Chains A and B, each alone.
Chain A
Amino acid sequence: TQLLEQSPQFLSIQEGENLTVYCNSSSVFSSLQWYRQEPGEGPVLLVTVVTGGEVKKLKRLTFQFGDARKDSSLHITAAQPGDTGLYLCAGSRSNDYKLSFGAGTTVTVRA
């Protein structure tokens, strides 16, 4: 059983559309990170959120950490083909500084 559940597993959309990826858990996390992985490469960190209710924006990407620090979402506005990739959430609990990863959401943006 995954500590972090991501949904959906796959997402295919047309360029210009919006999308949201979810990351949920029954555990409380001291911080949550989002990574993007492109084919043939390792994951690259996009953002870290640490405060319940926190919202961070990175150009067209908006990240939110749930008030109870058990869930997070990633919203992409006006998606572009360059947004294609595997999006992974990863959480760290206060008593354990190892990161636990979700299974990932594969996003495909069609031109």
Chain B
Amino acid sequence: DVKVTQSSRYLVKRTGEKVFLECVQDMDHENMFWYRQDPGLGLRLIYFSYDVKMKEKGDIPEGYSVSREKKERFSLILESASTNQTSMYLCASSRYRGTTNEKLFFGSGTQLSVL
């Protein structure tokens, strides 16, 4: 079965810190995604990548950047963390690029608190 691993289950950071969230998938999937999940808002797409070194903005990219240097790894970077970035962050992957009904495989999430 596909495994999507997020490096931290819980993180506590201070306002202004640079934060790295790491995600690794083990099934050679082309697509990788970063979502944030907030109560009452569901999952909102931050960034996604369909190939190494490629990235595309999702619906809420402001304040975030991403890096995909290797196919299996997709990193989310908060350049200067702010309190409104306190949230659950979910990484996901899917097999093929450009299809509309691909199954997403999710990691267990990273609960980030910015104080």
Residues of A within 8 A of B (CB): 2, 4, 6, 9, 30-31, 33, 35, 40-45, 48, 50, 88, 90, 92-94, 97-104
A69 CB → nearest B CB, Å: 12
Task: Choose one: A44, A94, A103; the contact of B106 (CB below 8 Å).
Answer: A44
**A102 contacts B104, C-beta separation under 8 Å:** no
- Which 4 pairs show the lowest CB-CB distances between chains A and B? A42-B106, A31-B101, A103-B42, A101-B43
Report the separation of the CA atoms of residues A45 and B115 in the bound assembly, to the nearest whole angstrom. Answer: 33
Question: Could you list some 11 contacts between A and B, CB below 8 A?
Answer: A2-B41, A40-B108, A42-B109, A44-B106, A50-B101, A94-B100, A98-B48, A99-B45, A101-B44, A103-B42, A104-B42
Report the separation of the CA atoms of residues A2 and B43 in the bound assembly, to the nearest whole angstrom. Answer: 10
The reply to whether the CB of B84 lies closer than 8 angstroms to some CB of chain A is no
**B42 contacts A30, C-beta separation under 8 Å:** no
**Which residue of chain B has its CB nearest to the CB of A106?**
B39
**B40 contacts A9, C-beta separation under 8 Å:** yes
Report the separation of the CA atoms of residues A4 and B107 in the bound assembly, to the nearest whole angstrom. Answer: 23
Count class of interface residues, chain B: 20 to 34
**A42 contacts B100, C-beta separation under 8 Å:** no
B47 CB → nearest A CB, Å: 11
- Find chain A residues with CB under 8 A from B104 CB: 33, 35, 43, 45, 90, 99
Task: Choose one: B35, B98, B106; the contact of A97 (CB below 8 Å).
Answer: B98
The reply to whether the CB of B61 lies closer than 8 angstroms to some CB of chain A is no
